[in-house]
Amino acid sequence: MERFVSIGEAATAMGVSITTLRRWEATGKLVAEHTAGGHRRYDLAKLRPEMFRAEEEANRRTVAYARVSSHDQKDDLERQKQVLELYCARQGWTFEVIADLDSGMNYHKKGLKRLLDAVIDGQVGRLVITHKDRLLRFGAELVFAICEAKNVEVVILNQGEDTTFEEDLAKDVLEIITVFSARLYGSRSRKNQKLLDGVKKAVEEAQA
């Protein structure tokens, strides 16, 4: 006996997202019935998860992610991209490079959001980065957990210390202090500027 279910129920039965189900329908891989009111209905008897999943696995792509904290590190961003491109090409992988130029403390970076959306949607099979901290300064483990849940292989090219770690961390600390001091004293106050100048000097001396 045929049983027709909604798109949400069908996605759950297939173990994929609703977005993926819609993409399969748009490409003709899956055909939905429509009610008189125009709602999609799927016949569970005709859904074959193993067939679709195998095809989806084969089509998942490799994504290489690069990031630096500020515009004066653009050269380093280009070096990261070149390293990632060379490595992926040598492995014979078809890949895409996503790059961000923003603080490691910012969880709303366009590239990172695009990457996570693709991972959650099941479009990514492999993630390649130069160092763990290129994803986020704090919270990279959460991204790795999402990748593990979605069966995404994570390749970290260098497990050692990132040569830009101290510089990035200093910029992130200054960013945090700027935000909090502006809230405390006002963004244009002399007290705020004096605090920032003092912290900046201390950071520069520590790096010397």
Active-site residue 69, yes or no?
yes
Residues in Cβ contact with 44 at an 8 Å cutoff, skipping those fewer than 6 apart: 2, 3, 4, 5, 10, 13
- The phi, psi pair for 64, rounded to 5°, reads -105, 130
CA 17 to chain centre: 17
What is the C-alpha to C-alpha distance for residues 177 and 179, in angstroms, rounded to an integer?
5
Q: Which residue in 6, 17, 69, 181 is the catalytic one? A: 69
Tokens of 122: 């099941």
- Using a 10 angstrom Cβ sphere, with 0-12 exposed, 13-18 middle and 19 or more buried, the burial of residue 115 is buried
* Residue 192 to residue 24: CA distance in whole angstroms: 55
Report, as residue numbers or ranges, the catalytic residues.
69
